[in-house]
């Protein structure tokens, strides 16, 4: 098997890879210079679709509909686009060894890929219940969701177990989005999570109370403060019951697990500087190894606005970090300088007819505004976070595009506020005036 050599290699074929490829083309790329190596079988796509429209019972999203860069309103890059641009899409190929000093990657098939410049875009993998030794966690019909193959398996199970019972383990992003998607598919859904309220890494108890109430109204049973400790299986090896730590036992035809993600950095252990669980980079996504960049979920980068190093596991950053790294690579070749990455954290989610956005930092004191009752007619409510007399973060459910823009501006500008009463009184109109 002959070795292959490329000027640029992107390792990973997810969101960041697709946006990096588009940026290379924008900046000027010659045919044959760039390869994307991905263990997935399809060209880069907008991963967020997998936990939302991909699972709809009616007119579900399917490829090629959501290849990048449609998620940010850009051109859809179909496999032919890569061909036209002379970009080698090396799919269904897992890299199992990276030798950074030798600038060489080896695939599971034993093929060697040499590069001059490497962009690491391996993203994250799911944390599994078997990692915690949960008994029976490898039973059939226990699903995780990261890649399109996982989503296809779940779709098959949804068809096979029509109107059945689902237990969702985890109360984070995956838990909330999949709990809703399965309910829409007419499953009897129970959600189980250890914390006193859902999405504790972002939500305050008041924000969570709205979603928990709303989900309950949709017929979802929420069980908090306990975890799954084991599963029983039937004679086909399919999951039958979920055993909880508090002694309860829940029937289940399908179990969906979303207990967090882990950045895929293992190929580079001992060869590169890591920080906060990710690969440490500068503001141009350069790592400690010459000619090696890291972007998306795996990068721990300087978040200039807060003067600290952070890792961000969300799609907006994966797109923007990829673009920044490519701009930096091209600029350094041309001896030019570019601006430092100056990221404003942006997270969002959608489920049922709900849709929220968050910008900034959820630190300091939270001030709830609007009506967070699940029965409210508009569902419009939000929260500001105040730290050291400044508004540093803002959350809004059911905002209009203008209102979402306004909360983004607030989080970026960080206006001073004398007391929280003003925010409470003015609510979203405070942001709209900034």
Give the x-and-dash track for 153-172 against ligand NAD (CB under 6 A): ----------------xxxx
Distance CA 68, CA 374 (A): 35
Indicate the angle between helix axes 205-217 and 173-184, nearest 10 degrees: 20
Residue choice 47, 67, 280, 311 for contact with ligand FDA (CB under 6 A)? 47
Does residue 349 bind ligand FDA (CB under 6 A)? Answer: yes
Does residue 194 bind ligand NAD (CB under 6 A)? Answer: yes
* 296 three-state secondary structure: helix
Is residue 215 a contact partner of residue 86, using CB atoms and an 8 Å limit? no
Nearer to ligand FDA, 67 or 314 (CB): 314
Distance CA 337, CA 209 (A): 48
Does residue 259 bind ligand NAD (CB under 6 A)? Answer: yes
Nearest one of 315, 321, 320 to 300, comparing CA atoms: 321
Nearer to ligand FDA, 154 or 368 (CB): 154
CA count, 13 A, side-chain hemisphere, 24 = 27
Q: Which does 241 bind (CB under 5 to 8 A by kind): ligand NAD, ligand FDA, none?
A: none
Does residue 40 bind ligand FDA (CB under 6 A)? Answer: yes
Give the x-and-dash track for 289-308 against ligand FDA (CB under 6 A): -------xx-----------
Residue choice 349, 351, 357, 372 for contact with ligand NAD (CB under 6 A)? 349
* 37 three-state secondary structure: strand
Least Cβ distance, residue 159 to ligand FDA (angstroms): 19
Is the sign of the CA dihedral 79, 83, 84, 88 positive or negative? positive
Kindly identify the residues of this chain, within the stretch 372-391, that bind ligand FDA according to CB under 6 A: none
Q: Which does 71 bind (CB under 5 to 8 A by kind): ligand FDA, ligand NAD, none?
A: none
Nearer to ligand NAD, 322 or 328 (CB): 322
Nearest one of 164, 301, 305 to 238, comparing CA atoms: 164
CA distances from 279 to 100, 126, 300 (A): 13, 18, 6
Query: For the chain, what is the radius of gyration of the CA atoms?
Result: 23
Please calculate the CA angle 11-15-18 and round it to the nearest 5 degrees.
70
Distance CA 260, CA 281 (A): 23
Does residue 197 bind ligand NAD (CB under 6 A)? Answer: no
Residue choice 65, 213, 260, 415 for contact with ligand NAD (CB under 6 A)? 260
Q: Which does 170 bind (CB under 5 to 8 A by kind): ligand NAD, ligand FDA, none?
A: ligand NAD
**Which two three-digit tokens encode residue 136?**
């029976």
Residue choice 157, 264, 328, 392 for contact with ligand FDA (CB under 6 A)? 264
Least Cβ distance, residue 424 to ligand NAD (angstroms): 27
Does residue 136 bind ligand FDA (CB under 6 A)? Answer: no
Distance CA 53, CA 171 (A): 20
Distance CA 39, CA 11 (A): 9
Q: Which does 259 bind (CB under 5 to 8 A by kind): ligand NAD, ligand FDA, none?
A: ligand NAD
**Which two three-digit tokens encode residue 221?**
């049973």
Does residue 315 bind ligand FDA (CB under 6 A)? Answer: yes
- Please give the residue ranges that form the binding site for ligand NAD (CB under 6 A): 51, 124, 132, 169-175, 177, 193-195, 200, 227-228, 258-261, 313-314, 347, 349
């Amino acid at each position: 098997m002959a070795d292959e050599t490329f000027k640029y290699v992107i390792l990973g074929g997810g969101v960041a890879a697709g946006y990096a490829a588009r940026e290379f083309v924008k900046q000027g790329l010659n045919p044959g210079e760039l390869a994307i190596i991905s263990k997935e079988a399809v060209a880069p796509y907008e991963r967020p679709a997998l936990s939302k429209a991909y699972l709809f019972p009616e007119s579900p999203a399917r490829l090629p509909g959501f290849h990048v860069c449609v998620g940010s309103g850009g051109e859809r890059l179909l496999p032919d686009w890569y061909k036209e641009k002379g970009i080698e899409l090396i799919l269904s190929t897992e890299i199992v060894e990276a030798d950074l000093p030798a600038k060489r990657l080896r695939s599971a098939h034993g093929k060697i890929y040499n590069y001059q410049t490497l962009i690491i875009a391996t993203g994250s993998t799911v944390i599994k219940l078997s990692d915690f030794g949960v008994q029976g966690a490898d039973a059939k019909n226990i699903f995780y969701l990261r890649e399109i193959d996982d989503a296809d398996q779940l779709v098959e199970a949804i068809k096979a177990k029509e109107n059945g019972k689902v237990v969702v383990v985890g109360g984070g992003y995956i838990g909330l989005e999949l709990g809703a998607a399965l309910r829409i598919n007419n499953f009897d859904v129970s959600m189980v999570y250890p914390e006193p309220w859902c999405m504790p890494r972002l939500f305050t108890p008041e924000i969570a109370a709205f979603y928990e109430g709303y989900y309950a109204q949709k017929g979802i049973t929420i069980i908090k403060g306990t975890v799954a400790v084991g599963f029983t299986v039937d004679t086909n090896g399919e999951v039958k019951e979920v055993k909880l730590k508090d002694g309860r036992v829940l029937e289940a035809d399908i179990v969906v697990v979303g207990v967090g993600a882990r950045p895929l950095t293992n190929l580079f252990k001992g060869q590169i500087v890591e920080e906060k669980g990710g690969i440490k980079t500068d503001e141009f996504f350069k790592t400690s190894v010459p000619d090696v960049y890291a972007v998306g979920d795996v990068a721990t980068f300087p978040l200039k606005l807060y003067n600290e190093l952070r890792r961000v596991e969300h799609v907006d950053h994966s797109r923007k970090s990829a673009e920044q790294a490519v701009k930096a690579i091209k600029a350094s070749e041309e001896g030019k300088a570019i601006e430092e990455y100056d990221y404003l954290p942006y997270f969002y989610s959608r489920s049922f007819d709900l849709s929220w956005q968050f910008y900034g930092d959820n630190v300091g004191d939270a001030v709830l505004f609007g009506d967070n009752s699940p029965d409210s007619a508009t569902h419009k409510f939000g929260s500001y976070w105040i730290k050291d007399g400044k508004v540093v973060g803002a959350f809004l459910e059911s905002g209009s595009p203008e209102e979402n823009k306004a909360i983004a501006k607030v989080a970026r500008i960080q206006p001073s506020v004398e007391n929280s009463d003003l925010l409470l009184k003015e609510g979203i109109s405070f942001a709209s005036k900034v």
